[in-house]
Structure 1
């Protein structure tokens, strides 16, 4: 991660790390930063026969809590709605759909930590 980076730079770096993480886990990233008038999906991936909408939260410190704590019930509801719009816009068929959270913590002077929460919503 970049020291003294802006919030946007930290977010982009986190999403890049998340995409690499998912690929190492055997998932295929289908889309990144997909937007429609209702919002944005950070990553859309395929995990076997399932479609996965991934919310990426990256933090430099835990001052405001663990990154995953920023994913509220309202955010999960919005992600499920966005997933339906994504599916309607793409020719992708899947057996199932789930929402995952990739929480990335980049503490100064320490290794980056990644927590992959599967099926949170």
Structure 2
């Protein structure tokens, strides 16, 4: 049986594949800093998407909004990431939510731009 951590990693990989197929470049995965962890950071054009990936065995992944504390940690980690990447200055930054329903054969991915709140 798959552990919660293994399901989470599988979901993050599915989310990264989903973004790549849509023209995004993955800048970081599971990045730690600023008192938090960023599941995925991706760029396309002048947009940087800092993504929280929620992986569930059912469709409830988007039904669980992030708490204010989670959004705060995500925003602080995003600022720390961007401070280390001066080439991203001037890009639009947004906090996205990606819901992954883990299936046996295929994962279903739903990308919600800006759903995690303001950066």
- Give TM-score scaled by structure 1 length: 0.84
Say if 2:97 is the partner of 1:95.
no
Provide structure 1 residue ranges, at least 5 long, that are not aligned to the other structure.
none
Partner of 1:67: 61
Distance (Å, rounded) in 1 between the aligned partners of 2:107 and 2:87: 33
1:107 to partner: Cα distance: 4.5
Map of 1:25-104 to 2, 5 A cutoff? 25-36=22-33, 38-61=35-58, 66-68=60-62, 69-93=64-88, 94-104=90-100
Q: CA RMSD in A?
A: 1.8
* Gap runs ≥5 in structure 2: none
How many residues matched? 114
Contact between 2:8 and 2:54, CA under 8 Å: does it hold in 1? yes
TM-score with structure 2 setting the length: 0.85
If asked which structure has higher relative contact order (CA below 8 Å, sep 6+), I would say 2
Question: How far off is 1:73 after superposition?
Answer: 3.2
In the other structure, the counterpart of 2:112 is: 117
- 1:49 touches 1:96 (CA, 8 Å); kept in 2? yes
